[in-house]
Amino acid sequence: MAGHTDNSIVIDAPMDLVWDLTNDVPNWPNLFSEYASAEVIEQSGESVVFRLTMHPDEEGNVWSWVSRRTGDPVARTVRAERVETGPFEYMKIYWEYLEEPTGGVRMRWVQDFHMLPQAPATDAAMTEHLNRNTKIQMALIKDRVEAEARALVR
């Protein structure tokens, strides 16, 4: 059985700002709390291949992997997948940005994955971890993007 998460948050900021800030991969260490670095390896049009490196975990392990991300600025969607899958058989992520009728932008992340048999976590355990961590990261992104939006209005 594969793992699946589906989380979203409404960010009170203009669509272009939300799109630009959340798709600026080199700036992700300033947007997410978990990434120590984001290195662009290759960029072609709306596609970027990059290496993410996390801060050390509780045991001192530093996790790093390469992903490919392709955005569609017209549809306001992004499709991403791990190129170096690590403990995953596969990891695919879909980002969607929708303008809310009452204002703001709903940013949604859908993650589909399957852990390798020898991975340190099962699909169920990783689903629980990702659901918990995604909410934390989305709240940080919301705060940081909204702060940027307020600063631009001044």
* Amino acid at the residue 129: H
Q: Which residues contact 148 (CB under 8 A, 6 or more apart)?
A: 13, 17, 21
Structure confidence by residue, pLDDT tens digits, 88-132: 999 999 999 999 999 999 999 999 999 999 998 999 999 999 999
What values do phi and psi take at 123, rounded to 5?
Answer: -60, -45
pTM value?
Answer: 0.94
Q: 15-22 and 123-153 helices cross at what angle (nearest 10)?
A: 130
Which tokens go with 54?
């996390």
CB 113 within 8 A of CB 98: no
Q: Which residue has the tokens 């993650």?
A: 111
CB 52 within 8 A of CB 38: yes
Domain segments of the chain: what residues? 3-24+68-153
Structure confidence by residue, pLDDT tens digits, 40-91: 999 999 999 999 999 998 888 899 999 999 999 999 999 999 999 999 999 9
Which tokens go with 148?
């940027």
The CATH number of 3-24+68-153 is 3.30.530.20
